[in-house]
Structures are given as C-alpha cells and as structure tokens.
Amino acid sequence: GQHMWPDHAVLACRIVAEDRWCQRCGCQGVARDTVIRRLAHEPYGWRPTFLHVSVRRYRCQECAHVWRQDMSQAA
C-alpha cells in the first residue's frame, strides 16, 4: 500500500518468501510476530519516500532460536 502526505510518502510492502527453517538445528519454526523495518529513504519527485517492510519473526520450537525473514533480496 501507499500513503501520500504533502511533505512525504510511505510505501508499505511485505516479504512473500517464508523463512521457516531454523539456521541452528534445521527444525521448522513458528511465526511469532511481525516487525516493520524502514528500508529506504529515496526522493520521489520533490518529497521524501519511505519504504516500510513488514518482516516476520520466527521461533524454533526445538532450540528456541529466534530469527527474522531474510531481507537481502529487498535491499
């Protein structure tokens, strides 16, 4: 989605690829919550544009390791 204000714009997006497997033990994690990351601040015309990315956090049921979805492709 997008929100336009007179002095700035916000583009909201989410990562569609899941990252459910634990990097430590290889077990499947459970989605825990979502955090918003402000990825970029690029001018769009004359107003600043902010990119807000929703990133899921997961928790491994076996080893209790917590991680976020991989954002490397978004950057």
- pLDDT computed for residue 43 by the predictor: 67
Strand 66-68 relative to strand 29-44: parallel, antiparallel, unpaired? Answer: unpaired
- What's the rounded Cα separation, in Å, for the pair 14 and 35? 10
Per-residue model confidence as pLDDT tens digits over 6-61 = 888 888 988 888 889 999 999 999 999 999 998 767 666 777 888 899 999 999 99
Nearest alpha-carbon partner for 15 in 37, 44, 47, 32? 37
pLDDT in tens, 37-48: 987 676 667 778
Task: Please say if the pLDDT value at position 70 is more than 80.
Answer: yes
Output the DSSP codes for 5-39: -SS-EEEEEE--S---B-TTT-PBEEEEEEEEEEE
Cβ atoms of residues 37 and 71 within 8 Å: yes
Q: What is the model's pTM?
A: 0.74
